[in-house]
Chains A and B, each alone.
Chain A
């Protein structure tokens, strides 16, 4: 016993040190795997969670006369009626001397509504667009129209309730 201890003493010390060094090292591969797996999961969930939104400001409904806006020239206004089947009807001005304004039907594509709006914005600097929606119009339509307003940089626009006259005008088309 003594012999073995004495003979292997120096070597064993060295061996012990080595074995200690080996035991401190842990295989981290599974831990890193797990870490990255969780990272991917959280990255994907964060990026898709925040919804986009669109600011909408409606005209004030209050009857207070002092708050009412100033009058606008009828020829500077464009009325837009959102109908069913993804159609939009627009006309400039109002009914004058019993003559109905010319109603044009178009669609929501860049070649339809946007072309009209860009042209009108260039023609009339103080353009006012009045947006009215029929009952059967889709919610998507109103978002599309509001979108066109911001794309074409229309200075003033508002969403208002539709009147029976508007329905009559567009039904003819």
Chain B
């Protein structure tokens, strides 16, 4: 009888330790992950040798897509909400509390403030289909400049980043840049992909 029992015992392996490690790592990765915010447009960024990382918080991101449309986003919901209030006061577009709360949850916008009310009334699914025309930056109707101005007046620790598509014309980016320069913002970031630095290769 005992001879039969012995081989049965050896089959099962103690996995507790392995399980412990797996879940330890899992917790670590869950805590460190921050998800990419959803973007309304696909922007194919050019590559550069620069290795500076963007900060995690307080980013004011201006995206320019292939067709030259401009999108604006701020990662702090409170700043976004406050900026919307100032914008609605300036352009005379009234927003209800529900609408401004809804706006605070939006990742980014790319449409004139006059159309924003209509956009906010859409369901989440319909919004993905809605084609946003981009924020106007004409000299007569420079809403982007106002968005930047009001966001910065609420939160002065904002880092300004420009994320342009590599195929977009420089004309649009120069408009955005001059709009920033008019507000005395001379230091900002271009969001880029990574590329190997030829100098480093030589040194190594």
A46 to B15, CA, bound (A): 27
Set of chain A residues within 8 Å of B23, measured between Cβ atoms: 35
Interface residues of B in 178-193 (CB under 8 A from A): 178, 180-182, 184, 186-193
Give per-residue flags for B139-180: 1 if the beta carbon is below 8 A from chain A beta carbons, else 0.
Answer: 000000000000000000000011111111111111001101
Residue in chain B with minimal CB distance to A25? B12
Residue A100, interface by CB 8 Å: no
Residue B36, interface by CB 8 Å: yes
Name 16 extra pairs, CB < 8 A, besides A28-B19, A138-B166. A35-B23, A45-B33, A46-B32, A49-B36, A51-B45, A51-B54, A51-B192, A54-B48, A55-B52, A60-B184, A138-B169, A138-B170, A139-B64, A142-B173, A143-B46, A150-B50
Give per-residue flags for B62-105: 1 if the beta carbon is below 8 A from chain A beta carbons, else 0.
Answer: 00100000000000000000000000000000000000000000
A62 to B182, CA, bound (A): 9
**In the complex, are the beta carbons of B165 and A139 less than 8 A apart?**
yes
Q: Chain A: interface secondary structure?
A: mixed
Residue B130, interface by CB 8 Å: no
- Give the residue among B49, B54, B161, B172 with the most A Cβ atoms within 10 A: B49
Residue in chain B with minimal CB distance to A22? B12
Give per-residue flags for A125-162: 1 if the beta carbon is below 8 A from chain B beta carbons, else 0.
Answer: 00000000111111111111011001100000001010
User: In the complex, what's the smallest C-beta–C-beta distance from B8 to chain A, in angstroms?
Assistant: 10
**In the complex, are the beta carbons of A58 and B186 less than 8 A apart?**
yes
**In the complex, are the beta carbons of A110 and B181 less than 8 A apart?**
no
Set of chain A residues within 8 Å of B188, measured between Cβ atoms: 56, 58
- Give the residue among B32, B64, B188, B190 with the most A Cβ atoms within 10 A: B190
**In the complex, are the beta carbons of A39 and B22 less than 8 A apart?**
yes
Residue B53, interface by CB 8 Å: yes
**In the complex, are the beta carbons of A32 and B18 less than 8 A apart?**
yes
**In the complex, are the beta carbons of A110 and B166 less than 8 A apart?**
no
Contact with A42, one of B30, B50, B51, B53 (Cβ below 8 angstroms): B30
A79 to B167, CA, bound (A): 23
- Give the residue among B18, B170, B172, B199 with the most A Cβ atoms within 10 A: B170
Residue B10, interface by CB 8 Å: no
**In the complex, are the beta carbons of A110 and B167 less than 8 A apart?**
no
Residue B123, interface by CB 8 Å: no
Provide a sorted-by-A list of 9 A–B residue pairs whose CB atoms are within 8 angstroms. Answer: A35-B26, A51-B163, A52-B53, A53-B53, A54-B189, A55-B50, A57-B187, A60-B184, A60-B186
**In the complex, are the beta carbons of A139 and B170 less than 8 A apart?**
yes
A55 to B159, CA, bound (A): 11
Residue B194, interface by CB 8 Å: yes
Set of chain A residues within 8 Å of B34, measured between Cβ atoms: 49
**In the complex, are the beta carbons of A28 and B16 less than 8 A apart?**
yes
**In the complex, are the beta carbons of A42 and B29 less than 8 A apart?**
yes
Residue A20, interface by CB 8 Å: no
**In the complex, are the beta carbons of B29 and A52 less than 8 A apart?**
no
Contact with B192, one of A53, A82, A141 (Cβ below 8 angstroms): A53
User: In the complex, what's the smallest C-beta–C-beta distance from A136 to chain B, in angstroms?
Assistant: 6
Contact with B49, one of A57, A62, A151 (Cβ below 8 angstroms): A151
User: In the complex, what's the smallest C-beta–C-beta distance from B115 to chain A, in angstroms?
Assistant: 26
A38 to B182, CA, bound (A): 48
- Give the residue among A31, A51, A59 with the most B Cβ atoms within 10 A: A51
Q: Given A135-B170, A141-B170, A39 and B29 touching (CB < 8 A)?
A: yes
**In the complex, are the beta carbons of A54 and B52 less than 8 A apart?**
yes
